[in-house]
């Protein structure tokens, strides 16, 4: 059963219990009551996704802090709540209390909008991920023919927020951060698209659901190992975490595009980054490792385990590696990732032609 119908039937039950048959309400011959129910349903779904994303972010930030502290011979947060688990909540409250500073010469509207743009793809991307089934309930918010295209389109939004935020800050460091963000985008997005394209060829469909189903026997990481490498590196670059944290590059440009951000706006950027890390690991697990499809049984458990592994790998990369220079990154993108992804496209086309039935 679809999540939409699930929520719809609950709504129906509640309204029936209240003796308030909204679905029978017509306005000028249009089923306006039904439309309202659809709308409420959609809002509930988005809120649900938002809540799940936030929960994952909270857990991820906590794990990040503790894991990083463990590697660095520290204890990490240990004061608030059991084992310091409420530290992030306290941080959020601290950020909310802070004075809201917008630079004098900043473009105020753009400056305010940018953090939300960075956060958007977390929600939009999570909408189309199939999380598997819980008995008959299918945990997927939206399902249509072109979900993979939608996912890619949603994921490329966040660098736009970085560019807008950097340019509108009226600060030279932020400007340089924005320029780097733009350069970095172009560097990795083309190879990323091409490796996604080879997935589409291999699965013969634009739908993530079909891609997941195609990996019933062999996960795509085996025929698509080159594409996986490209996509994985692109995902690291997209989150702008070390070694590819060029837009923010803490020690060079004071804090890159987010130099002028403080208070809750910075908090939203921070949350967006961690949320994107969660999204990226889920996407990698879904596209290349079969998502909920796994050995022995298919379950939500599998996608949770797989994406947790990738989250840990992302965190490790954050903790252990230094930063590359911007020209080195562009070199990598254009000279190595692009040819590799094209080669991968060729290979997967050949596989699709000769072993088309295998997937």
Partner 1 sequence: MEKVVEVNFGPQHPSTHGVLRIKVKLDGEIIVDAQPVIGYLHRNAEKLSEMGLYPKALIYMDRLDYVAALNMELGYILSVEKLMDVETPERAQWIRMMMVELNRIASHLVWLGTHGLDMGMLTPFFYCWRERERVLRIFDEITGSRLLYNYFSIGGVYSDLTPKGIDMIKEFVNTFPDRLEEIQSIFQKSYIYAKRTKGVGKLTLDDAIAYGVTGPLLRASGLKWDLRKNQPYLFYEKVNFDVPVYTNGDVYSRFLVRVEEMRQSTKIVKQVLEKLPDGDFYNKKYAKPMLVRMKGSGESYVPTESPKGEFGVYVIGDGSTIPYRVRIRSPSFANLQAVSIMLKGYKIADLTATVSSVDPVFGEVDR
The residue within the footprint of partner 1, chosen from 9, 39, 328, 339 (CB under 8 A), is 328
| Assigned token pair, 350 | 């050949």
DSSP structure class, residue 51: H
The residue within the footprint of partner 1, chosen from 200, 201, 321, 351 (CB under 8 A), is 321
The residue within the footprint of partner 1, chosen from 14, 27, 43, 71 (CB under 8 A), is 71
Helix (H) or strand (E) holding 335: none
- Shortest Å distance, C-beta 253 to partner 1: 7
DSSP 98-114: S-----TTS-HHHHHHH
The residue within the footprint of partner 1, chosen from 254, 300, 309, 343 (CB under 8 A), is 254
Q: Environment class of residue 183 by beta-carbon count within 10 Å: exposed (0-12), middle (13-18) or buried (19+)?
A: middle
**What x-and-dash track marks residues 26-65 binding partner 1 by CB under 8 A?**
----------------------------------------
- Shortest Å distance, C-beta 319 to partner 1: 6
Looking at the Cβ atoms of 187 and 242, the one nearer to partner 1 is 242
Contact 235, 190 (CB under 8 A): no
170 binds partner 1 (CB under 8 A): no
Q: Rounded to an integer, what distance in angstroms lies between the CA atom of residue 345 and that of residue 353?
A: 12
Looking at the Cβ atoms of 187 and 290, the one nearer to partner 1 is 187
Instruction: Residue count of the chain, please give it.
Output: 359
97 binds partner 1 (CB under 8 A): no
Contacts of 65 (CB under 8 A, 6+ apart): 76, 77, 84, 87
Binding footprint of partner 1 on the chain (CB under 8 A): 68, 71-74, 172-173, 176, 242-243, 245, 249-255, 318-328
């Amino acid at each position: 059963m679809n999540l939409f119908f699930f929520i719809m039937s609950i709504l129906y039950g509640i309204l029936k219990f209240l003796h308030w048959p909204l679905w029978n309400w017509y306005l000028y011959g249009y089923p306006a009551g039904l439309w309202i129910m659809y709308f409420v349903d959609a809002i509930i779904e988005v809120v649900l996704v938002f809540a799940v994303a936030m929960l994952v972010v909270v857990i991820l930030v906590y794990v990040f802090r503790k894991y990083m502290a463990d590697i660095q011979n520290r204890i990490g947060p240990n004061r608030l709540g059991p084992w310091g688990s409420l530290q992030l909540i306290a941080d959020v409250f601290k950020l909310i209390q802070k004075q809201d500073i917008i630079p004098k010469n900043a473009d105020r509207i753009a400056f305010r909008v940018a953090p939300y743009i960075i956060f958007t793809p977390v929600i939009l991307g999570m909408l189309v991920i199939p999380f598997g089934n819980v008995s008959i309930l299918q945990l997927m918010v939206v399902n249509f023919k072109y979900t993979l295209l939608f996912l890619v389109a949603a994921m490329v939004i966040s660098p736009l927020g970085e560019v807008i935020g950097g340019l509108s800050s009226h600060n030279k460091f932020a400007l340089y951060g924005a320029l780097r963000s733009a350069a970095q985008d172009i560097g990795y997005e083309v190879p990323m698209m091409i490796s996604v394209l080879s997935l589409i060829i291999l699965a013969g469909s634009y739908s993530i659901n079909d891609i997941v189903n195609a990996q019933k026997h062999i996960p795509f990481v085996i025929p698509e190992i080159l594409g996986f490498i490209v996509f994985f590196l692109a995902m690291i670059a997209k989150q702008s975490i070390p070694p590819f944290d060029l837009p923010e590059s803490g020690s060079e440009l004071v804090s890159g595009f987010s130099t002028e951000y403080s208070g809750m706006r910075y908090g939203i950027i921070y949350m967006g980054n961690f949320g994107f890390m969660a999204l990226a690991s889920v996407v990698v697990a879904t596209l290349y490792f079969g998502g909920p499809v796994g050995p022995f049984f298919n379950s939500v458990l599998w996608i949770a385990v797989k994406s947790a592994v990738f989250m840990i790998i992302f965190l490790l990369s954050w903790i252990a590696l230094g930063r590359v220079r911007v020209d080195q990154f562009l070199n990598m993108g254009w000279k190595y990732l692009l040819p590799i992804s094209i080669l991968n496209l060729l290979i997967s086309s050949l596989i699709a032609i000769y072993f088309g039935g295998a997937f």
